[in-house]
A and B are shown apart, each in its own frame.
Chain A
Amino acid sequence: MSEVASRISVAVNGTAHHAEVEPRLLLVHFLREVLSLTGTHIGCDTTNCGACTVLMDGRPVKSCTIFAVQADGREVMTVEGLARDGQLHPIQEGFHEQHGLQCGFCTPGMMMTGYALLQRTPNPSEAEIRWAISGNLCRCTGYVNIVEAIKHAAEKMRSAPAPAGGRS
């Protein structure tokens, strides 16, 4: 089998990364193993759970269901891109304040989906929040507090229009 390594260039959390990768390398493995950004979790590995959600060009995608070569030339944002200068992003603060996690495994994906929602819909209804996170599963079933956490972040971001952290 001839498999030529591909050169890719991906901007992750605002920093350009150049690498030679096997074409079959999944984006989530590129992030975790090549870039050591282990905040993005591998959950089901079957495109169901959304734990591995990152933003590509501002939109939530499942990083277990895209090859790293497909992200060539794109902008990727992971959970590590939320906080800035040691200060939590409002979406992170929301999960902290509203107890939006129990085991925490789904949390990075939930936060990225929540962050993307609030970029487009700063004042979402509860139904809009639930619809937005319908591709992110929480096996602890802590959805009530997850929704509260995203509401908390929405209020915080509306009251402080230029929050610390977050790029997209």
Chain B
Amino acid sequence: MIPAPFTYHRPKTLGAALRLLQTLGSVARVLAGGQSLLPMMKLRLAAPAHLIDIGRIAALRRIRAGGGRLRIGALATHSMIESVPAVRRWVPVLAETASTIGDLQVRNLGTMGGAAVHADPAADYPATLLALDAEFVLQGPDGARIVPASEFFQGLMATALRPDELLIEISLPTAQRVGAAYMKMPNPASGFALAGVAASVALDGDGRCRHVRVGITGVASAAYRARHVEQALLGQEPTDEVLAAASAAAADGVDASADLHASAEYRRHLARVLTRRALAAARDRRRSGKQGLPSS
């Protein structure tokens, strides 16, 4: 399958990329790893007149830890997220999430920033980025602004990113000692999440939940935080029974998607079950201090 013709741009610097976006933003697409965009272009679901390839802007591929945050450049590939020691040390659940994406070849090219901006409703990262309180650094012509994950994912393939902005970095807090886990029910053919749940738990001195985050992908048109579940658990001792009771609210008030792969009710069911499992795994990891990393 042959994509429609386009004019190709390969800016070497962030500034050059932003200038191109300013003039061409409405008729251009940004190419990062291309593992979602190329399939769409080949099917002619996307036919941009201009393609802005940011793949050679080395500054966007950096991963740095410091000042209580891990800063991941938008072009870090899924393979890097899986294997880079700083990610595995500070946010192991993100490495775990990356290892479940696509396959080896896709992970070698696909980028976390590209996946986040693409905002496929069945993508894996959004759940985990919500559960980790990630922040998105969006660079526009007038400077950068920071958008929290809970405001970034807005709808079906829709995010807070404006046409003249570039996602340059995703940053995650590293100071809080949390246990976290990502659990998904993959579509057996594509590997995309029929439902995927990331949970993050911090406990106080008495073993009660001091901090809870639950991010859910695959179930609705955009990934969301299960705030009913989070609030129900605050101050509670996270026994299996307590987690199960709270998880029952994982899809409350959610307009669940239905397609040939799963009905809305099945997706709601998966959300509840996977929430319970992810919370239990997060709790166990917090208690034991072991994060259950994928092998690299």
Residue ranges of A at the interface with B (Cβ–Cβ < 8 Å) = 1-4, 6, 22-24, 26, 45-48, 50, 53, 56, 59-62, 64-67, 69-70, 113, 128, 131-132, 134-135
Q: Which residue of A lies closest to B38 (CB)?
A: A65
Give chain B's interface residue range (CB within 8 Å of chain A): 20 to 34
Using Cβ atoms and an 8 Å threshold, which residues of chain B touch A26? 2
Indicate whether B148 reaches chain A with its CB closer than 8 angstroms. no
B1, B53, B102: the one within 8 Å of A135 (CB): B102
Q: Given contacts A1-B49, A23-B51, A65-B34, is CB(A50)–CB(B105) below 8 Å?
A: yes
B8, B39, B55: the one within 8 Å of A65 (CB): B39
Q: Is the pair A67, B7 in contact by a Cβ cutoff of 8 Å?
A: no
Indicate whether B108 reaches chain A with its CB closer than 8 angstroms. yes
Q: Given contacts A47-B106, A66-B38, A134-B104, is CB(A24)–CB(B4) below 8 Å?
A: yes
Cα-based distance from A32 to B8 in the complex (angstroms): 22
Using Cβ atoms and an 8 Å threshold, which residues of chain B touch A46? 1, 39, 42
Using Cβ atoms and an 8 Å threshold, which residues of chain A touch B104? 60, 113, 131-132, 134-135
Q: Given contacts A46-B42, A65-B38, is CB(A3)–CB(B5) below 8 Å?
A: yes
Q: Is the pair A62, B4 in contact by a Cβ cutoff of 8 Å?
A: no
Q: Is the pair A67, B34 in contact by a Cβ cutoff of 8 Å?
A: yes
Using Cβ atoms and an 8 Å threshold, which residues of chain A touch B61? none
Using Cβ atoms and an 8 Å threshold, which residues of chain B touch A56? 108
Interface of chain A, main secondary structure: mixed
A–B pairs, 21, beta carbons within 8 Å: A1-B5, A1-B49, A3-B6, A3-B7, A4-B8, A6-B8, A23-B5, A23-B6, A23-B8, A24-B5, A45-B42, A46-B42, A47-B35, A47-B38, A59-B108, A62-B109, A64-B42, A66-B109, A70-B55, A128-B295, A131-B104
Q: Is the pair B42, A22 in contact by a Cβ cutoff of 8 Å?
A: no
Using Cβ atoms and an 8 Å threshold, which residues of chain A touch B4? 24
Smallest CB–CB gap between A2 and chain B, Å? 6
Using Cβ atoms and an 8 Å threshold, which residues of chain B touch A132? 104
Instruction: Give 20 A-B pairs besides A46-B39, A65-B105, A131-B104 with Cβ atoms closer than 8 angstroms.
Output: A2-B7, A3-B7, A4-B7, A6-B8, A23-B5, A24-B6, A48-B190, A50-B105, A53-B105, A59-B108, A60-B104, A60-B108, A61-B109, A65-B34, A65-B38, A65-B106, A66-B109, A67-B38, A70-B34, A113-B104
Using Cβ atoms and an 8 Å threshold, which residues of chain B touch A61? 105, 108-109
Chain B, range 1-17, C-beta contacts under 8 Å to A: 1-8, 10
Indicate whether B103 reaches chain A with its CB closer than 8 angstroms. yes
Q: Which residue of B lies closest to A6 (CB)?
A: B8
Indicate whether B247 reaches chain A with its CB closer than 8 angstroms. no
Q: Is the pair B105, A135 in contact by a Cβ cutoff of 8 Å?
A: yes
Using Cβ atoms and an 8 Å threshold, which residues of chain A touch B7? 2-4, 23
Indicate whether B291 reaches chain A with its CB closer than 8 angstroms. no
Q: Which residue of B lies closest to A54 (CB)?
A: B105
Indicate whether B128 reaches chain A with its CB closer than 8 angstroms. no
Using Cβ atoms and an 8 Å threshold, which residues of chain B touch A69? 8, 10, 53
Q: Which 8 A-B pairs have the closest CB atoms?
A: A135-B103, A23-B8, A3-B5, A59-B108, A24-B3, A62-B105, A135-B105, A135-B104
Cα-based distance from A56 to B25 in the complex (angstroms): 30
